Amino acid sequence: MALISRRTVIATGVSVAALGTVGYGLWPRMGGYLDEADRQRQLLADNPGLEDLVRMATLAANSHNTQPWLFRLAEGQVSILPDISRRTAVVDPDDHHLYISLGCAAESLVIAGAALGRSSAVAVSAGDAPQIDISLTTADPDGQELYQAIPLRQSTRSVYDGQPISTADMALLETAAREAGVSVQFFTEAADRDVILDYVIAGNSAQMDDPAWVAELRDWLRFSSTRALATGDGLFGACSGNPVLPEWMGGQMFKLFFTKEAENTKYRDQIRSSAGIAVFVGDRADPQHWIKVGRSFQRFALQATALGIRTAHLNMPIEVASLRPDFARWLGAPDARPDLVIRFGRAPAMPMSLRRPVSAVLA
């Protein structure tokens, strides 16, 4: 996925500052958007109920912010099921991203439960459309650091500060991502990042040439805070550093400025300013392993957040099926299906994305 770049806006002769004034100034606190984002991201009180833990789970990363999950509650148990009505058939035809998203939600629920005195046993059913069953029992509270990072984690789609991450912090990131059945490769050398950049540009170019891919992305964009607040889902422009606009104007701007060249330039700046790139690879290409990848990634992203390190996705090399085998060969894993490409580094926070209320995601 990719959004209108600031550089494109500059190229039109309209300054970003001017657009920012139009974008943010006319809507104090973005029409209540920032207050709502803050409200959704409060940590829980002691002794939370299952619905409270579900709220923490829904703050997890998920593809296109479609929130493709349903939660079924029973005594001491939360089950997470796919919400097939929210799949993204073009970018994710085999529900790979969908199951990773469920894994991300499961991991946040487990971490929030642990911090508030509930230990979890996680079971994933077999088959093509598995569900995740999480049984919770009383235990001593554990793992405050990652829990407190849950409301602060975000996909930060901006240019980072270009500085390396310390060896000690890299070791913590590596440890956090450890999960049986998943391996993570870290690339911090400029030469490796430039090779990945070439794959990202090839993938982004292929996606931008596909009208169905562009139309699917467009469906999940939210240009105005009014629409973002009304749906509670999707990709709100401000979260990617784009101006806030009335929906009709955003649609016109998207048609005019969402170009392959501008997007590729943006990705070049983003990758070259990042401290490194992490590539997640599951041992097998099935929904059970995609859930594991999601759990591994969510822990990685929360540990990064706790250390003040930002993360963002660059999944084009694994989304475009024709590129994937070559990318896997470059990774030295020719028989694997690489699952996620994540850049990391330091940068200021962007506005947070919204979620639908818990009542909307209960099965």
Q: Choose, by CB under 6 A, the member of 100, 112, 208, 323 that binds ligand FMN.
A: 100
Q: How many CB atoms sit inside 10 A of residue 218's CB?
A: 14
Binders of ligand FMN in range 310-339 (CB under 6 A): 312-313, 315
Burial 175-201 (b: 16+ CB within 10 A, else e): ebbebeebbbebbeeeeebeebbebbb
Give the number of residues in contact with ligand FMN, rule: CB under 6 A.
Answer: 18
Task: Give the SS3 label for residue 335.
Answer: coil
Residue 202 as a binder of ligand FMN (CB under 6 A): the answer is: no
Stretch that binds ligand FMN, among 21-29, 100-108, 143-151, 181-189 (CB under 6 A): 100-108
**Tokens, residue 121:** 């046993």
Q: What is the largest CA-CA distance in the chain?
A: 60
Cβ proximity to ligand FMN: between 118 and 155 the closer is 155
Residue 104 as a binder of ligand FMN (CB under 6 A): the answer is: yes
Stretch that binds ligand FMN, among 20-28, 39-47, 99-107, 141-149 (CB under 6 A): 99-107
Binders of ligand FMN in range 150-189 (CB under 6 A): 154-155, 157
Integer distance in angstroms from the first to the last C-alpha of the chain?
28
**Tokens, residue 340:** 């996620």
Stretch that binds ligand FMN, among 61-69, 71-79, 136-144, 199-207 (CB under 6 A): 61-69
Residue 65 as a binder of ligand FMN (CB under 6 A): the answer is: yes
Residue 63 as a binder of ligand FMN (CB under 6 A): the answer is: yes
Residue 168: exposure state from Cβ atoms within 10 A (0-12, 13-18, ≥19): exposed
Q: Choose, by CB under 6 A, the member of 5, 101, 204, 224 that binds ligand FMN.
A: 101
Residue 62 as a binder of ligand FMN (CB under 6 A): the answer is: yes
* Torsion 239-245-251-252 (CA) sign: negative
Residue 296 as a binder of ligand FMN (CB under 6 A): the answer is: no
DSSP output for 233-260: -SEEGGGGTPPP--HHHHHHHHHHH--H
Q: Note the residues at the interface with ligand FMN (CB under 6 A).
A: 1, 61-65, 97, 100-101, 104, 154-155, 157, 235, 312-313, 315, 353
